[in-house]
Amino acid sequence: MGPALSREADYARPQREARAVFAVLGVKLETTTRCEIAKDWERESISLDLARKYLKAQTTLHAEFIAPDFPLKTNSILDPNNEYASAFCTADEIREFSATTKQEIASSEIGARGTVNSKKYSFPVFDSKFQRAVLIVTSGGTSYKRTPTGLWSSGWEGHSEAMVFEKTHGQWRLVTNALLWTR
């Protein structure tokens, strides 16, 4: 959808519009936990049906849409002043944090609990006029509990949804969201 991002100047508008979309989403960084948000963008695709319905994509291709591989990480869009740096982690840092939390609970006294939350956002897929956008949000977590027989884990439980935004009179608003999957 739209031209490829090839020059640094091409990033200014998508970056500005993405910040505005995320502002509507209302990500509350002050309540996030350590390593809760992935620094890398979610790469889950948007179905052709969703693109046709909400982005008004007129295409004869039978394909899915994916956000561009934007050069800035999520923390650059969500936390440009780097006030909540500990909330954002790479995939390796998230795995390390999860393993550390799991080990801490396993070596704690019976009844100790802990949860590792995770959230991954796609860069918004905008229509060619920057009037509509679809954003994929994948959220979930793993809970741990120290029991008399050892460590109990819920396994990762979560869901993914497509959030659809529309710009009216220069302001973005959330129009709808569609559950993509849950486990």
Distance between CA 117 and CA 21 in Å, rounded?
23
Asked whether the beta carbons of 134 and 54 are under 8 A apart, the reply is: yes
Distance of CA 87 to the CA centre of its chain: 13
Q: Buried b vs exposed e over 108-146: b needs ≥16 C-beta within 10 Å? A: eeeeeebebbbbbbbbbbbbeebebbbbbbbebbbbbbb
What digits encode the pLDDT tens for the residues 87-123? Answer: 999 999 999 999 999 999 999 999 999 999 999 999 9
Reported pTM: 0.85
Phi (first) and psi of residue 83, to 5 degrees: -80, -25
* Residues 23, 167 contacting (CB under 8 angstroms): no
CA dist list (Å): 151 to 97, 142, 144: 17, 12, 7
Tens of pLDDT along 23-79? 999 889 999 999 999 999 998 888 778 887 877 766 655 666 777 778 889 999 999
The mean per-residue pLDDT over the stretch 125-154 comes to: 93
- The residue count of the chain comes to 183
List pLDDT tens digits, range 163-175: 999 999 999 999 9
> Residues with Cβ < 8 Å from 34, sequence gap 6 or more?
86, 87, 89, 97
Q: How far apart are CA 53 and CA 178, in angstroms?
A: 12
